[in-house]
Amino acid sequence: ADAEELGFAVATVLADPGVDSVLVVYTPPFGSGLEASQAAIAKATRDTGKTVLACVVGHDGLIDERVPSYAFPEQAVAALARVAEHAAWRARPREQVEVKPRVDRKSARVVVAGDLLRHPEGRWLDHPTAARLLGHYGVHVAETRTADSPEAAAEAAAAMGLPAVLKATGPGLVHKSDVGGVVVGLATPQEVEQAYRDMAERIGPAMTGALVQRMAEAGTEIIIGGVQHETFGPLVMVGMGGVTAEILRDQAFRIPPLDLRDAAEMIGELRGAPLLYGYRGRPKADIEALAQQIVRVGALLDDLPEVAELDLNPVIATPSGALAVDVRIRVAPAPPRPSSYRRWMRRAR
């Protein structure tokens, strides 16, 4: 077909009320050649309100600054599939998230702004501050006390209830268990005291104190993460945690705002999801509670662009709830949100 025939065919198909979107495929240099054919596609699609994509074989780019054009048909079809999925998501009635406990945005902002005043460059929050921030969004974090001596750790454990977990803290300590900085299942205050001494000896001056928690109920370890992405803005990740997390990278991503259904879908996308649903007689996790945590993390990232990175690893999902036992949050001066993101959010809301 020459350019005129190509344009006529595109216009005819677009005029059909039974057609929602059109993918024009053209292989140069046949017909009238690359430029004339692109011009014909541009002209035929200029006034349509329908979705048009093109595959001009071998040429990636935009036709007429408007029609996305892919070098291979598979790319065009994959992009169209994403558009359709996204349109369906946008068209869905938004579920009102049950806010119980309520989100306290104002206090959360005060925590972030206060920390940035003291640390203008931003930093990884200390545990109490991170837990407070998450608390304002109703994210469940295991009760945690800080201790700076073996005796104080033993006392904290006795006060919170046993068995206890002891974790080393220090400015440079990131992956605590890698350096022997996490000991679980401590049954008595004496064991806690001894564990602290052993840990201090093992780690040396890098350890400046410790966190004490009560052992959480057994369950499935999940990661809830988030970043402010330079293109997308806030991005929420849910993944399977535990020792295989880094190897399997079983993860699902979404752009907030999220409702409970979005969160449940993210969980459902994980290959490890059956572990939560009661696979082989395992106890069924409280999916609703886990979904709530995901929605709340999404709201936090969406409201607070200063939260640059967030990593709850693990959140332990059990039949009675979902509890974060390790939380890391980095705050930094907020970058301007990408304009494409802001435009998109205005339409989404």
Which residue ranges make up the site for ligand ADP (CB under 6 A)?
142, 165, 167, 175-177, 182, 184, 213, 215-216, 221, 313-314, 325-326
Binding mask 270-309 for Mg ion (x = CB under 5 A): ----------------------------------------
In 3D space, the residue among 164, 287, 294 whose CA is nearest the CA of residue 223 turns out to be 294
Binding partner of residue 262 among Mg ion, ligand ADP, none, CB cut-off 5 to 8 Å per kind: none
Q: Check binding of 313 to Mg ion (CB under 5 A).
A: yes
Q: CB of residue 177 vs Mg ion: minimum separation in angstroms?
A: 7
Region of residue 64 (phi > 0: left; psi between -120 and 50: alpha; otherwise: beta): left
Which of Mg ion, ligand ADP, none lies near 12, with the C-beta cut-off 5 to 8 A by kind?
Answer: none
142 vs 300, beta carbon nearer ligand ADP: 142
Strands in 144-147's sheet, in edge-to-edge order, are 144-147, 209-214, 164-169, 182-186
Residue pair 170/208 in contact by the 8 Å Cβ criterion:
yes
Specify the residue, 223 or 304, whose C-beta has the smaller distance to ligand ADP. 223
**Bond before 101 cis per omega within 30 degrees:** yes
Binding at 213: pick from Mg ion, ligand ADP, none (beta carbon under 5-8 Å per type): ligand ADP
Using rule CB under 5 A, residue 191 touches Mg ion = no
Rounded to a whole number of angstroms, the minimum distance from the CB of residue 115 to ligand ADP is 21
Number of residues that bind Mg ion (CB under 5 A): 2
Q: How far is the CB of 325 from ligand ADP (least distance, A)?
A: 4
Residue 183 token pair: 């000991």
CB of 313 to Mg ion, least distance (A): 4
Angle, helices 260-269/287-303, rounded to nearest 10 degrees: 110
Q: Which does 216 bind (CB under 5 to 8 A by kind): ligand ADP, Mg ion, none?
A: ligand ADP
Buried b (16+ CB within 10 A) or exposed e, 227-249: bbeeebbbbbbbbbbbeebeeee
Minimal distance in Å, beta carbon 123 to ligand ADP?
Answer: 17
Chosen from ligand ADP, Mg ion, none, partner binding at 182 (C-beta under 5 to 8 Å by type):
ligand ADP
Total Cβ atoms within 10 A of residue 93: 6
**Residue 239 CA, distance from chain mean position:** 9
Q: Does 326 interact with Mg ion (rule: CB under 5 A)?
A: yes
Q: What is the DSSP string of 183-250?
A: EEEE-SHHHHHHHHHHHHHHHGGG--EEEEEEPPPS-EEEEEEEEEETTTEEEEEEEE-STTHHHH--
CB of 313 vs ligand ADP, minimal distance in Å: 6
138: left (phi over 0), alpha (psi -120 to 50) or beta: left
CB of 189 to ligand ADP, least distance (A): 17
For ligand ADP, the closer CB: 136 or 176:
176
Using CB under 5 A, list all residues that contact Mg ion.
313, 326
